[in-house]
Structure 1
Amino acid sequence: MRARRVIAAASVAALGVLSLAACERSAPDVAAYVGDTTYSLDRVDGIYDEAQAKYGDVVRQAAGQTGATPSPEQLRSPVTRQDVVNLLVSLELGKRVAKAKNIQVPDEVSPQQLEQSLRVPATTEYTKLWGEWVDLLQAFNQQLPPAEVSDESVMAVYQALAKVGAIPGGLPVTEVRQRFGEGAFVGSATALSVVLEDEADRADVSINPRYREVGVPSLVSSGQSVIFYSLPYINEEGPVTDISTPDASPSSPNPDTEGTAS
Structure 2
Amino acid sequence: MRARRLIAAASVAALGLVSLAACGRSAPDVAAYVGDTTYSMSRVDEIYDDAQRMFGDAVREQASRAGATPSPDQLRSPVTRQDVVNLLVSIDLGKRVVAAKNISVPDQVSPEELQQPLRMPAGAEYAKLWGEWIDISEALGQQLPPGELSDESVMAVYRALEKTGQIDSGLTVAQVRQLFGDGGFVRSGAAVSAALQEEAERADLSVNPRFQPLGVPSLVGNGQALIVYSLPYIDEDGPVTDVSTPEPVPSSGPADS
> For structure 1, which runs of at least 5 residues remain unmatched after alignment?
1-11, 243-262
Q: Is the Cα–Cα contact under 8 Å of residues 32 and 207 in structure 1 kept in the other structure?
A: yes
Q: Is the Cα–Cα contact under 8 Å of residues 34 and 204 in structure 2 kept in the other structure?
A: yes
Query: How far is 1:195 from its partner?
Result: 0.5
The answer for the alignment partner of 1:9 in structure 2 is: none
Query: How far is 1:166 from its partner?
Result: 2.2
The answer for the alignment partner of 2:80 in structure 1 is: 80
Post-superposition Cα deviations, 1:141-193, rounded to whole Å, max 9, x if no partner, equal 22112112111110110111011212233322111111111111101101101
1:217 is paired with a residue whose SS is strand
The answer for the alignment partner of 1:258 in structure 2 is: none
The answer for the alignment partner of 1:127 in structure 2 is: 127
> Does the alignment pair 1:50 with 2:50?
yes
The answer for the alignment partner of 2:223 in structure 1 is: 223
2:23 is paired with a residue whose SS is coil
The answer for the alignment partner of 1:200 in structure 2 is: 200
How does the TM-score come out when normalised to structure 2? 0.85
Counterpart residue type for residue 58 of structure 2? V
Query: How far is 1:232 from its partner?
Result: 2.4
The answer for the alignment partner of 1:252 in structure 2 is: none
How many residues are treated as equivalent by the alignment? 227
Q: Is the Cα–Cα contact under 8 Å of residues 14 and 230 in structure 2 kept in the other structure?
A: no
Query: How far is 1:14 from its partner?
Result: 4.2
Q: Give distance in 2, aligned partners of 1:94 and 1:132.
A: 10
Q: Give distance in 2, aligned partners of 1:182 and 1:166.
A: 20
Q: Which has the higher contact order (CA 8 A, sep 6+)?
A: 2
Q: Give distance in 1, aligned partners of 2:93 and 2:61.
A: 37
> CA 1:226–1:111 in structure 2 vs 1: closer, same or farther (change >3 Å)?
same
Identical pairs, percent = 69
Query: How far is 1:233 from its partner?
Result: 2.8
Q: How does 1:1-262 map to 2 (within 5 A)?
A: 13-233=13-233, 240-241=240-241
Q: Is the Cα–Cα contact under 8 Å of residues 44 and 81 in structure 2 kept in the other structure?
A: yes
Q: Give distance in 2, aligned partners of 1:14 and 1:203.
A: 16
Q: Give distance in 1, aligned partners of 2:14 and 2:122.
A: 28
Q: RMSD of aligned C-alpha atoms? A: 1.6
Q: Give distance in 1, aligned partners of 2:135 and 2:187.
A: 18
Q: Is the Cα–Cα contact under 8 Å of residues 14 and 194 in structure 1 kept in the other structure?
A: no
Counterpart residue type for residue 113 of structure 1? E
How does the TM-score come out when normalised to structure 1? 0.83
> For structure 2, which runs of at least 5 residues remain unmatched after alignment?
1-11, 243-257
2:39 is paired with a residue whose SS is strand
Q: Give distance in 2, aligned partners of 1:200 and 1:16.
A: 8
